[in-house]
Chain A
Amino acid sequence: MCGIAGIYNFRGTQAQSVETVSRMLSSISHRGPDGFGAYHDGGVCLGHARLSIIDLSGGGQPMSNEDGSVWITFNGEIFNFEELRAGLEERGHRFRTNSDTEVIVHLYEDLGHGCLERLNGQFAFAIWDTAKRELFIARDRMGIRPIFYAEQNGAFYFASEAKALFATGHMERKLDPLAIDEIFTFWHTVAPRTSFEGVHELPAGYYLVLKSGALERHKYWELEFPEEFSNISFEDAMDELKRLLIDSTRLQLKADVPVGAYLSGGLDSSVTTALIRNYTGSKLQTFSVAFEDGDYDESPFQKEMAKALGTEHNEIRCSYKDIRDNFEKVIWHTEKPVLRTAPSPLFLLAGLARKTGFKVVLTGEGADEVLGGYDIFKEAKIREFWARMPESNLRPLLLKKLYPYLPAFQGQSRFYREAFFNSGLTAASDEFFSHRPRWATTAKNKMFFSEALRNEIKSASPESMMRLTLPASFKSWPVVARAQFLETRGLLAGYILSSQGDRMLMGNSIEGRFPFLDHRIVEFAATLPLHYKIRGINEKYILKKCMAPHLPPNIVKRTKQPYLAPDSKSFFEGGKSAGYAEELLSEKKVAEYGYFNPRPVAMLVNKCKKGGAIGFKDNMALVGILSTQILHRQFVEDFTGALPLDREKLKIVNEPVRA
Chain B
Amino acid sequence: MRDEVRDFIFKNFLFDDSGDSLNDSDSFLEKGIIDSTGMLELVAFLEEKYGIRIEDDELVPENLDSVERLVQFISRKKVPS
B39 lies within 8 A of chain A by Cβ: yes
Q: Which of B16, B17, B36, B40 contacts A420 (CB 8 A)?
A: B36
A580 lies within 8 A of chain B by Cβ: no
Taking CB atoms and an 8 Å cut-off, the chain A residues in 407-451 that contact chain B are 408-409, 411-413, 415-417, 419-420, 440-441, 444, 447-448
- Take A444-B32, A603-B11, A607-B12 as given contacts and tell me if A415 and B59 are in contact as well, using a CB distance cutoff of 8 Å: yes
Alpha-carbon distance A637/B36, docked complex (angstroms): 39
- Contact of B39 with A416 in the complex, beta carbons under 8 Å: yes
B4 lies within 8 A of chain A by Cβ: no
- Contact of A616 with B60 in the complex, beta carbons under 8 Å: no
Decide if the interface of chain B is mainly helix, strand, loop or mixed. Answer: helix
Q: Taking the nearest CB of chain B, how far is it from the CB of A639, in angstroms? A: 31
Interface size on A, residues (CB 8 A): 27
Q: A409: which B residues are within 8 A, CB to CB? A: 36
Closest chain A residue, CB of each to CB of B36: A412
Task: Type the 1/0 row for B23-35, where 1 means its CB is closer than 8 Å to any CB of A.
Answer: 0000001001001
Taking CB atoms and an 8 Å cut-off, the chain A residues in 362-414 that contact chain B are 408-409, 411-413
Closest chain B residue, CB of each to CB of A616: B37
- Contact of A603 with B15 in the complex, beta carbons under 8 Å: yes
- Contact of A600 with B60 in the complex, beta carbons under 8 Å: no
A599 lies within 8 A of chain B by Cβ: yes
Q: Taking the nearest CB of chain B, how far is it from the CB of A332, in angstroms? A: 28
Interface size on B, residues (CB 8 A): 19
Q: Which of B16, B29, B35 contacts A617 (CB 8 A)?
A: B35
Alpha-carbon distance A419/B17, docked complex (angstroms): 27
A575 lies within 8 A of chain B by Cβ: no
Taking CB atoms and an 8 Å cut-off, the chain B residues in 3-17 that contact chain A are 11-12, 14-17
Closest chain B residue, CB of each to CB of A441: B35
Q: Which of B12, B14, B35 contacts A612 (CB 8 A)?
A: B12
- Contact of B12 with A416 in the complex, beta carbons under 8 Å: no
Alpha-carbon distance A411/B35, docked complex (angstroms): 12
Q: Taking the nearest CB of chain A, how far is it from the CB of B46, in angstroms? A: 14
Alpha-carbon distance A347/B5, docked complex (angstroms): 43
Q: B41: which A residues are within 8 A, CB to CB? A: 612, 614-615
Q: Taking the nearest CB of chain B, how far is it from the CB of A289, in angstroms? A: 25
- Contact of A447 with B15 in the complex, beta carbons under 8 Å: yes
- Take A415-B61, A615-B35 as given contacts and tell me if A607 and B40 are in contact as well, using a CB distance cutoff of 8 Å: no
Q: Which of B15, B32, B36 contacts A408 (CB 8 A)?
A: B36
Alpha-carbon distance A409/B60, docked complex (angstroms): 16
B51 lies within 8 A of chain A by Cβ: no
- Contact of A615 with B15 in the complex, beta carbons under 8 Å: no
A604 lies within 8 A of chain B by Cβ: yes
- Contact of A408 with B59 in the complex, beta carbons under 8 Å: no
Q: Which of A420, A599, A601 contacts B35 (CB 8 A)?
A: A420
Alpha-carbon distance A604/B36, docked complex (angstroms): 18
Q: Taking the nearest CB of chain A, how far is it from the CB of B11, in angstroms? A: 5
Alpha-carbon distance A411/B56, docked complex (angstroms): 9
**CB-based closest 5 A-B pairs:** A615-B37, A600-B15, A413-B59, A412-B36, A408-B37
13 contacts between A and B (CB under 8 A): A408-B37, A409-B36, A415-B61, A440-B32, A444-B35, A599-B17, A601-B15, A607-B11, A612-B12, A615-B36, A615-B41, A616-B37, A617-B35
A residues whose Cβ falls under 8 Å from a Cβ of B: 408-409, 411-413, 415-417, 419-420, 440-441, 444, 447-448, 599-601, 603-604, 606-607, 612, 614-617
B residues whose Cβ falls under 8 Å from a Cβ of A: 11-12, 14-17, 29, 32, 35-41, 56, 59-61
> In the complex, given contacts A599-B16, A612-B41, what are 8 additional A-B residue pairs having Cβ atoms less than 8 angstroms apart?
A408-B36, A409-B36, A440-B32, A441-B35, A600-B15, A601-B15, A615-B41, A616-B37
